[in-house]
Structure 1
């Protein structure tokens, strides 16, 4: 779930830290490298890594043992940007409209005590303004579910209010069902055909029920230190199933924001935050840094993995970082890292 945090002053002591080993171009040493080690020291992650593409400069850095650039890992809610891209492509092809009510594609699915699929549009699902409660509030990301089971759990919870922004993985589970209804294929098959194959994202997959990660991969750890490398992806489905790599995520966001995946009109629709009152676009969200620069992207959290991709609006500068645990203990580290990378005076 995206969290907009107030940026805090960066302690001067961080500048004294030794940067972890990095590979890349000759200009690879930058101010972000010392911050990366803080995800291990202060963030209490076993290991952390980042990959930055900025023009012709490619920089990889890592801190802690057992993590590598080529590793496959679970990307959690970054899956939502992929699903939103598929839906917007279908809209561009006039196979659906963002103003369509869910009822038009999935009749009778969204009927509850304060929920009516005749009033909830696809745009509301994409922007998290549907009012559908988040099924993971009950499952805590630990129970494999079918899409219908996830929806039923959501409908048993109070609505968060139609038209009000409230981040909910249920929205994207429903969108996955819409994609199947409109195309006759699963959201995974459509994402492979429309995004993964054209962009040659060879490390990216939708594993379905496969609990193991493709090789190569490191280990993934829960907050209590237990090993959760093996995980049934059906705990998240269309809201968080994706497995990928650092290189593939940088490539994906560069291509998306660079206009390779959506016509210009539909890319503008994706970046519009009007429905969510500035908090979220359609499967992507902005963060305004302390220097005034706005970065676009998404984060993803699933058992044993936290990932964040952020990019300039034109996709020419993309950074993805990850830790091999469920969450970062110190919430100031992520905004400090983004500020150091995207604000020129902070480098």
Structure 2
């Protein structure tokens, strides 16, 4: 699966994920097996069930487990497991929108803001999906996501983050957008406003043409232009946004090369039912090593086995 395949693929939603619906699904059997595994602290069985059912099936298991045992499955998992494995199993139990909301909340929690995780999510999700995540955020945390983002950011970076959260597709001319962006680079100090406005309010095919035309116009890559003319958080934000417009799977693969547990776990859970196969291909092209092999060089034990189960196979 190369870049041409990415653009030409007509495959149905979900077939590019590594975790798919389990064909012989019996939630009552799973609930009973989980109950026995929890009593024995059998992480292998827990991992096997959770990573071989898609999220919709896991939600049925949660409900069935509670009906059969009168216990909360998440609480039971906390008692039976610990560390990274506990976190991963609990996150697999969360409905997708709530999980995405949690990732955003964690990126803003504590001292300092995890700008890269915020940008990863805001740049790789559609405007419609982000509005759904925003609604889930309000439901879970009783706070407005846009207000939270404004409180955690400032200046041009704040403008970019809010524009990404509210991104929409507005018709415009390709040549006009190229001219506007090129002109902004000729000023003594580059103005971020037209970049933010254009890159967050056009459809993907339009933006791809704009960025290609801008590279011809300025005789440099767009990333080089951003690096040269901007600074601080807005430079980081525009750079990541450009990468996600041009090659989102390559950007996500680069994130995975850090091999930091929160990043790896976040991306793999978020994308395992959507397009993790594409990310695996990009990772192999980028590093020369499969994601499956790379995980084994960094992680250990039951947590590694869970990650490998989500990754699924060698490339």
TM over 0.5: no
Q: TM-score range by the shorter chain?
A: under 0.3
Question: Per chain length, whose mean CA-contact separation is higher, i.e. which structure has more relative contact order (CA < 8 Å, sep 6+)?
Answer: 1
Q: Which structure dedicates a bigger proportion of its chain to helix?
A: 2
Q: Max radius of gyration: which structure?
A: 2
- TM-score of the two chains, using structure 2 as the length reference: 0.27
